[in-house]
Amino acid sequence: MTLLKIIESYPSEKVLWITDRGRSVRVSDLSTQFSLHAGLFQKCRDRNVAVLFRQAVHLMAALTFLDGVARQIFFVPGSEPRDAVRRLLIESKSEILLTDESPDGLNDWENLHFQIDWEEGRKADAGARQDSSETVWLLATSGTTGFPKLAGHTLESLTRTHQRNIEKGQTFTWGLLYDPARFAGLQVFLQAVLSLSRLVITDDTRPLNERLQTFADHRCNALSATPTLWRKILMCPAAERLNLRQITLGGEIVDRQIIDALVRKFPSARVVHIFASTEAGVGFAVDDQKEGFPAAWLNDPPPGIQIKVDPEGFLLIKPSGVGSLRMKEGDQLRDQEGFINTGDLVRREGDRYQFLGRANGAINVGGNKVFPEEVENVMLGFKGVKFVAVKSKKSPIVGYLVAADVVMEDRSMAKKDFIEGLQSFCRSRLEEYKVPAFINIVEEIHTSQTGKMIR
Amino acid sequence: MSVRAIVIEAFHQSLKEANQPRPDLPDDAVLLETGLDSLGFAVLVARLEERLGYDPFTLMDEPYYPRTVKEFVQIYEKYDPKKS
């Protein structure tokens, strides 16, 4: 099954996507566009194609046409610096770049720009032909440390755990807040296509409140975002207009406070948090509105995956069922049974596993490991803390100390008293070495392209 | 405020946070017996660096370990860049 076949199985007048400018893209529109650009996409047959599109709708159309045609689709992470992009294009062995970034600045639907470039890519050995005709979807991880890595998947492997209930799906309209060239955004896009849910696209250069207004205008009732983004959404006036039935959280550890806040604000919504990794290409969804996930899942996992926790506390995931994921060379992340180490640490607490944080994000205070997320979680429980980002500060004596940037709810409040109160609060709830030695009051905390907080 | 006063004030703040408040800090008090552990000192030194703009322990050529409060203050006075 390719994307195009899936879409063409739907009635032609069905609206799939609604763009920023309010234009509806129907199944019939895609068929028309495909015919217009047939020559272009034929040139991509069996080639390694890189895609880099300014407009999400162009990317989605290109994916629809390339899946099953191209040998490989590489999602260029446009937000990375140019040097990194160039390196990734070569590493991905891309031969063709498809983009709507045309030199004269036109970004029209009809203006899919065609380039053959990257001599290195063409000369390089493109590797052995696959046995199956499935197109490889190659994604760059967001790489919390160091250079992004490439993870290869297929349409089938990416959607293995997705619901395909079209009857139910048609009652949903999703708002897209994520970048569709990244894993999270791609998952929202694919979920919408597979369930025949409408998808409303908004440009990420627009302010969040405006994007939410557009969602409300088109009666979006489903939204997926990181906890950091959700905290911002809850403070947007436009959120009042949203009538949500489905709330999905992902990309960061989900804490009790944000779950409760969302349940309160959107009482008719089903609140689900998703754990997934770009490397694994699959994940699981927790819908009981509690932090972490049930320990029982190690023996009785949700459909499509298997879960393991290794002796050090690392969470391991493996897609279950027929056909393993295409193993890229140098795939040291997998163990002998095919499990992928997600790089996230978990801890058993009663009948649940709680997420501790990225192993490589831990702060080493005199030999004691501190997870920023754990400290942030505690600090968010202090009245008056709007946002918090915990980071490390170098110390010649103990290596590193814990520091925190805090955005206050009420900026008129006396800072000194607030900080002292917050520190006492932390001291009463955390081990000494986890208590932030420095609390800085800041105006805002920055988020990355993927909606995650930048520490 | 003099460097000495700033150092003593920060020291008291750290002791308060470590639940070891004292009414005074005599010159001959032994650092390791004041109630601050290595973490407490790390935080104290880091905060003084933020406040004063320098960390004498990273500035010194040869490592010197102050034993008493007086020696601790003297190091800060010695490496004070504003000193004429």
Global ipTM: 0.81
Range scoring the smallest mean pLDDT among A131-135, A141-145, B33-37: A141-145
A136: phi then psi, degrees, rounded to nearest 5: -85, 130
Nearest to A161 by CA among A59, A314, A306: A306
For residue A134, CA distances in Å to A152, A154, A217, A319 come to: 12, 7, 38, 17
For residue A420, CA distances in Å to A176, A182, A378, A427, B43 come to: 40, 41, 15, 11, 15
pTM of the model: 0.78
What per-residue string of b and e applies to A135-146 under the rule 16 or more CB within 10 Å gives b? bbbbbbbbeeee
For residue A368, name the pLDDT band (cuts at 50, 70, 90). Answer: confident
Specify the pLDDT at position A102: 59
- Mutation site, B43, B47, B60, interface A, largest A CB count within 10 A: B43
Give the residue with greater pLDDT, A118 vs B44: B44
Residue A364 belongs to what H/E stretch?
strand A363-365
Give the residue with greater pLDDT, B78 vs A42: B78
- B31 in Cβ contact with B68 (< 8 Å): yes
Which residues lie across from A52 on neighbouring strands? A99
Chain A contact set for B47 (CB, 8 A): 437-438
How many pairs of residues across A and B have Cβ atoms under 8 Å apart? Answer: 34
CB atoms within 10 A of CB A15: 15
Give CA–CA dist A226/A48, Å, rounded.
Answer: 31
The tokens 């380039």 sit on which residue? Answer: A115
The reply to whether residue A395 touches residue B38, judged by beta carbons under 8 angstroms, is: no
pLDDT digits (tens, 9 = 90+) for A52-99: 888 899 899 999 999 999 999 999 887 777 777 778 888 888 888 888
For residue A123, pLDDT over 70 is answered with: no
Counting Cα atoms < 13 Å in the Cβ hemisphere of A26 gives 7
As a whole number of Å, the CA-based R_g of chain A is 23
For residue A333, pLDDT over 70 is answered with: no
Task: Annotate A9-23 with DSSP letters as a single string.
Answer: TS-TT-EEEE-TTS-
The tokens 């110390």 sit on which residue? Answer: A395
Bridging pattern class, strands A24-26 and A15-18: antiparallel
The reply to whether residue B47 touches residue A437, judged by beta carbons under 8 angstroms, is: yes
3-state secondary structure of A57: helix
